[in-house]
Each structure stands twice: as structure tokens, then as C-alpha cells.
Copies of this chain bind each other. A is one copy, B any other.
Amino acid sequence: MARYAHVPGPTIRRLSLYLRELEGLLAEGRETVSSKQLGQALRVTDAQVRKDLAYFGQLGRPGVGYPVDPLIREVRGILGTDRLWPAVLVGAGNLGRALAAYRGFARRGFEIVAVFDSDPAVVGQGLGTAGELTVLPMSQLPQVVRSGDIRIGIIAVPAPAAQSVAEQMLDAGIRALLNFAPAGLDVPPRVPVVSADLAIHLEQLAFQVAELAP
């Protein structure tokens, strides 16, 4: 049933970067953009930009370029961020609290509708930008997921707890995971997992800094 199974992964990943650039251009009041400009922003060739966007139809006009606002809507539709996906979050520590308050989730189509924690000491506490969420016990996870038809689970627990939380989420009916724990997850191949492991970003930065002259 996949709509874009024929589109290469790197193209899909670049869509996020095109979108970021397009949103910046829109904020500046720009109406069109050339493949050359988009390419320079991403450090790819203009031919690559045209090839990437051609997977999704005739989005630009030769000699005119791509219309910024329609292209933003098109890319959001492709990425699936043009609708709101309800999500549950497990882990009400510092990171979980930051995530519950992070406005960028809603802007990217995600709404954290419930937060869970296994620690009885934090269950019942208020969370979220306006304290509008209350931490629920793990025992309520299956019921909340089923009654809300929720597909996305966000894992913000320490590494040793991540696998068990992932399994509880999948048992409850969650179909895709966003994993903030610095741990790999052993889940069936049909389950999309996006790892937001900070450690990887940090290591890549350490490498680049170590490569600089002293």
C-alpha cells in the first residue's frame, strides 16, 4: 500500500531539508525558487533537486522555478505532516518533559495526547506547555492506545528500559516508534523506528572537532 515505495531513501530524507529551506523562503516573502538555489542550500546539484522533486510529479516550471507555497504544501502532503498524528510518550523524566512541552511536535503533525511513566512517584504530575497533561501509569497504556487509535509511540526512558517499553507499546497496538533512548530496539521489520539518539549526533560532532587543527 506504500505510495512512494519507488522513491529512494536519500530523496525522502532531503524532502525534510527542502521543506526547511522553503519555509525560510516563505517567511522572507519569496514566491518562487530555482533548483539551483535549493541545491546550494543543501549542497547538492540543481540536477539532483530536479530529479528528487520529479518523483512527485511536475512541481516546477522551466525558466520560472518552483512556486514556494504550493511546493511546501506538496512536500508536507508527501511527508504526511499535513495531518495530525496522535502519539503517546513513555518516560516523564527531563527529556520526556522537554518533549511534552516541545511545540515543534504539533508543527510537524504530531500531538502528544498522553504521557506514561512506570514510577508511581511521578504518576499524577502535570506536564506539557500548560501543564495540561497528567502522567499516567503504564497499566493504562493499552486502553489509551486502543480507545484513541494511536499509532505512534515516543520512547524517552533510560536505555535499559527502552526494549521493554517498545514491546509494551507494540502489544498495546502502537505501529511506529520514535526512540530517544540511546539503545537499539529489537522489533519486527514491519515496525518503522526512527532513532533520535543524541549520542550519535554527539559522536559525529566530536569526530569533526577532533579533526580540526588544535
Residues of A within 8 A of B (CB): 1-5, 12-13, 15-17, 19-21, 24, 41, 78-81, 85, 94-95, 97-98, 101-102, 104-105, 107-110, 151-152, 175-176, 178, 182-184, 192, 194-214
Contact = CB atoms under 8 A, between A and B. Distances in A.
Contacts of A80: 206-207, 209-211
Contacts of A108: 198-199, 202-203, 206
Given A20-B200, A85-B209, A94-B97, 16 more contacts: A2-B211, A5-B211, A13-B204, A16-B200, A78-B207, A80-B211, A95-B102, A97-B98, A98-B98, A151-B209, A152-B209, A175-B209, A175-B212, A178-B201, A178-B205, A192-B209
Given A94-B98, A94-B101, A202-B109, A176 B208 contact: yes
A46 to B, nearest CB: 18
Contacts of A195: 201
Contacts of A4: 207, 211
A15 B95 contact: no
A205 B182 contact: no
A79 B109 contact: no
A157 B151 CA distance: 30
Given A19-B203, A152-B209, A204-B13, A182 B104 contact: yes
A1 B209 CA distance: 12
